[in-house]
Amino acid sequence: MKSTALILVMMNVVGSAANAQSAPKAAAVQMPDGAMAATPLLKDYIRRVDFDDIWQRPGLSPRDRSLVTIAIIVAQGRTNEMPFHFDLALRNGLTPRELSGVITQVGFYAGIPFATAAGEVAEQVYKKRGIKPEELSVSDTLLPLDKSADAERANGVNRSVGGFAPDLARYTNDFLFGDVWRRTDLTPRDRSLATIVTLATDDHVAQMTYHLARGKQNGLTAPQMQEVLIQLAFYAGWPRAFSALPAIEKAFAPAPAVGAKKP
């Protein structure tokens, strides 16, 4: 059996769903002639299955798909992919301030050294594009806080962390949630998306429950999360997508109808 035929069939199925909506197309990707000469089969997969198929799927905007991909490669420390994907993200509509916001947010969830490594690459990309400092600055004014919801969140942190490590609890409440999460470089929805993807990339499944519920409240939807899983499979590896799926399904799947029998 020829694999080409198989792929064409698959793309056809996927394509029919894509054409049902007039979604924005991902920025065109031209793979240079000599690229990936050492792994021609992988190059073929990336072109056909990744860029010509998955990146064109309508369930997640190209801009969001870039945001997800960037969160993955920053959390992985894959500096080799950053010049290409940072540039693609900007062409797909992510602003420089948002791109730097994703890098910063991933830093707090994967470790600051991953953010500083990505920042060095971003600086080169911004220089080439003539991005000015004022396009990257972030206001000191913080987003308003839902005091009741935040008190509940803080109580959870104080219960689980505050007993043994009260200062870590305070940094978590006052700094991480009281400052970082309230900045305007990212919308709460985008910040949730970057955080969830970082947790999945680092296999922090147990810690996804809270952030999935928060992300849903911040506006993420089930169809978007289905696409996030596909993006995770390709960029963070199949096992990470499969590990993250049960928590995502639990948070985003529609509740079963009342009276429905379990199989």
User: Interface residues for its own copies in 34-73 (CB under 8 A)?
Assistant: 36-42, 45-46, 49-50, 57, 72-73
Q: How many residues does the chain have?
A: 263
256 lines the binding site for its own copies (CB under 8 A): no
C-alpha Rg value of the chain to the nearest Å: 20
Residue from 167, 257, 259, 262 binding its own copies (CB under 8 A): 167
Alpha carbons 215 and 220: distance in angstroms, whole number: 6
- 98-121: b (≥16 Cβ within 10 Å) or e: bbbbbbbbbbebbeeebbebbeeb
**Considering only residues 24, 156, 219, 239, which one is a binding residue for its own copies as defined by CB under 8 A?**
239
Give, as one character, the DSSP assignment of residue 173: I
* Sole binder of its own copies in the list 8, 128, 129, 137 (CB under 8 A): 137
Binding of its own copies at residue 188 (CB under 8 A)? no
Q: Does residue 109 bind its own copies (CB under 8 A)?
A: yes
Among 27, 178, 187, 216, binds its own copies (CB under 8 A): 178
d(CA 240, CA 232): 7
Query: Position 115: which residue type?
Result: A
Site for its own copies in 202-231 (CB under 8 A): 202-204, 206-207, 222, 226, 229-230
Can you read off the two tokens belonging to residue 132? 């000015």
Give the Cα separation of 192 and 183 in Å (integer): 13
Q: Which of 172, 191, 212, 220 binds its own copies (CB under 8 A)?
A: 172
Long-range residue pairs from 147-153, CB within 8 A, at least 24 positions apart, any chain: 150/177, 153/177, 153/210
CB of 184 to its own copies, least distance (A): 10
* Segment interacting with its own copies, rule: CB under 8 A, options 20-28, 87-95, 195-203, 212-220: 195-203
Distance CA 55, CA 7 (A): 15
- In the bound state with its own copies, the residue whose beta carbon lies nearer, of 92 and 247, is 247
- When the beta carbons of 92 and 224 are compared against its own copies, the nearer one is 224
Is residue 120 a contact residue for its own copies (CB under 8 A)? yes
Q: Considering the rule CB under 8 A, would residue 243 count as an interface residue with its own copies?
A: yes
Closest CA to 235 of 197, 205, 206, 208: 197
Of the two residues 188 and 237, which places its CB atom closer to its own copies in the complex? 237
CB 248 within 8 A of CB 225: yes
Query: Does residue 31 touch its own copies according to CB under 8 A?
Result: no
Q: Which of 70, 71, 88, 115 binds its own copies (CB under 8 A)?
A: 115
Cβ neighbours, 10 Å, residue 186: 24
Considering the rule CB under 8 A, would residue 113 count as an interface residue with its own copies?
Answer: yes
